[in-house]
A and B are shown apart, each in its own frame.
Chain A
């Protein structure tokens, strides 16, 4: 299939960005979205190495930068806003799992980086998500050191609880929830971690303290507040639901009462 691509180009964090338009041809419907971008980049590199084309006014500003790594939907590196949706038109997938069969021959596709105050652009489609690491460093852990822990079976956890905890733990930290939220809130990301740990007896001990510390860090780093639009839930590639936000709020309130 042949496609027209409108892609956000931005040299670095300080430069102003703009859209550029490119054509790609003969894309296989079995290719992944990122493989389609690989093909575009090969094309742009070849255009860039041709001095004649550059003299003729070829607009190439080199290959498009985008974050990607595992390409199987688990590392959370890929992060594109495609035709106005985080991770594109398919549900419950990351961009790397999106395949071109979801588009039609002749389509125009608009590709942007995550746009949110908490995630400044580094280059083109690459953004800085270190804020997520900082939120987790504020308390997204159980305070145990290596060694000196009880036997794994000494702590009984019901099948249902383990499964529910796993639902929250499935978060890949991609940032789609933040990018899609009109307030730029990181509430679903924070809630997934707080809730997943609070459900387990090991994590319950520090539950309230953890919730307070992570929410405070989220606010400090410039993420917005949650107004329950549930857009995050709709775009989460791992189908993490807002029920985790409810559990976070409970932990958070408990912490406030204790103060």
Chain B
């Protein structure tokens, strides 16, 4: 089966690969494009930009989202910005530097050619968004403004206040709306993909549930694009939206698409801490805040005690009694180290007993130095909406007292395995954006998710999918009466009937919270062999409990949010196990994956390049069977592999 993992990375010098590859890709003439149908699942930055671009090219596109409108997709919540190697600041930025920093930030576990291409098209994204009317922040002379983000030594992040994701998504959604009006794209809101349909081994359609009526519907096409985001909600508490889920990607896995590096989950250092067991989600405070905010805990335990008892305020603690631990440990990058490094450093301080709230799981993010330097108005202009959001949630005014923050699950770097064309191991099935695995390695840099989603959707997929579709022009419209559709629909109906018939004693959320606790405890910020083995057993037990004792309220022929959640949880209960298996297999620490057995004397990650410089791609082998591991070796021909160093 090893021949399935063909990365299709073009030969030749790195900087010429994409140009050369594009020139060799087949194209479909306009008349034939009209005969071809494409299904896009998901309407975030990847899905919306892909569907809009494919519609413009003349293909017939169907786009699906689980929300009431494409604009609700969770890309909308990205705050800080989008990277692009424009070098507008004259700080010696370049395509190579963005490429290099992304590979390094990902701890040398991403694919060189993909990342270089991402950096190469990054500039086009900004031009595209400006043309669409995205109101990026501007300098007084009218030029585009930039800020800095973690893991970068230049200012290359473009932004629209703290709402960059919203503005970029509204740009892509507007382009999509234009195509919907033109009739090239048909939109299916409140529809959830529940299965992928293969005919003769090729992706030919999906089974979806109409979330309003409960009807199970069949949709056929010549190719299917998965743009359904990541699986961070496996942990129950995360910064993902409540409805974000891994189910579309997971159905593809179960139909034969390989799933790569599932254990690479990003834990974001600056989120509002957990307040109690009634909590439903965690709120992110943008990484951009680390441009002006300084992270610290008290140096003295007695100050910690007083803070916890609310006898003193953080601002009462004298400058010399504060430990700005990121500035102390990583002088070169200071507060702007990558996310995984900042998260672990916060955990280290809290584990050592310096956490500053009642639960002991919080550190300060302090703006007093920046406010003294720039004035409150400047800080309000840069981060006003974030400060307001913080105050509404916590009832603390961050202009006066520092924010309290703690790491939380935010993004998943792992995902469906794709080749250089973004095609999965199933012909005709593509995966883009967070749903695939290819660009971020073990850790994604801030402001790079937006970049990747739009790069895939606007500039990469519309070219590469043509190469496949050129071979489909003689194939007729997919017949949704084919036995393969019949069978897939039957399986979906049986699954729904089974869930509704259990009528046990546990609610869906109760089981999901239990899964979240197992994941955070054993497959979270620090992992070890014993804990991971234990987690696998616990998840298997919990999965049994789910299938024998869950209670799903309501019926199937209606709007039923409990049923939606139950179907997603059924998949999270399997995804969690694969994450633990992958984490157990990867006996090294790299990026966000920290194996306690593999660390340096000062607690930094210790990679094992000799044994683990590969992409772990897992193949489904059947329910309750162990999945099979395939390895795609990673070759670095253009950069020197080094230990990640953010100290000097």
Contact = CB atoms under 8 A, between A and B. Distances in A.
A247 B49 CA distance: 29
Interface stretch (B122-130, B304-312, B426-434, B536-544): B122-130
Interface stretch (B17-25, B148-156, B160-168, B590-598): B160-168
B137 A152 contact: no
A76 B76 CA distance: 10
Nearest to A101: B395
Contacts, number: 224
B133 A200 contact: yes
A17 to B, nearest CB: 14
Interface of B: 49, 52-53, 56, 67-72, 74, 76-77, 86, 88, 124, 126-133, 135-144, 158, 160-161, 163, 166-167, 170, 173-175, 177-178, 180-181, 187, 189, 212, 241-243, 275-276, 278-281, 283-284, 388-389, 392-393, 395, 458-459, 462, 503-505, 507, 509-510, 551, 553-554, 558-559, 561-562
Nearest to B505: A49
A35 B133 contact: no
A149 B128 contact: yes
Nearest to A27: B278
Interface residues of A, number: 80
B53 A146 contact: yes
A133 B177 contact: yes
Interface string A147-168: 1011111011111011101100
B232 to A, nearest CB: 13
Contact of A76 (B71, B180, B187): B71
A62 B554 contact: yes
A138 interface: yes
A141 B178 contact: yes
Interface in A150-204: 150-153, 155-159, 161-163, 165-166, 169-170, 172-173, 196-197, 200, 202-203
Nearest to A75: B72
Closest 8 CB pairs of A and B: A156-B142, A141-B174, A149-B131, A162-B138, A165-B135, A152-B130, A166-B135, A69-B241
A28 interface: yes
B280 A38 contact: yes
Contact of B128 (A73, A147, A200): A147
Interface of A: 11-12, 27-28, 30-32, 34-35, 38-39, 42, 44-46, 48-49, 62-63, 65, 67-77, 90, 92-93, 97, 99, 101, 122-123, 126, 128-130, 132-133, 136-138, 140-147, 149-153, 155-159, 161-163, 165-166, 169-170, 172-173, 196-197, 200, 202-203
A159 B160 CA distance: 12
B284 A72 contact: yes
26 contacts: A12-B559, A30-B276, A32-B393, A49-B503, A69-B67, A69-B242, A71-B281, A72-B77, A74-B76, A74-B77, A77-B68, A90-B392, A92-B388, A101-B395, A133-B187, A136-B173, A141-B177, A142-B174, A144-B132, A144-B175, A145-B56, A149-B127, A153-B86, A153-B144, A166-B167, A202-B132
B174 A140 contact: yes
Given A39-B278, A156-B143, A70 B74 contact: yes
B142 A67 contact: no
B632 to A, nearest CB: 30
A142 B133 contact: yes
A35 B163 contact: no
Given A71-B280, A158-B140, A99 B69 contact: no
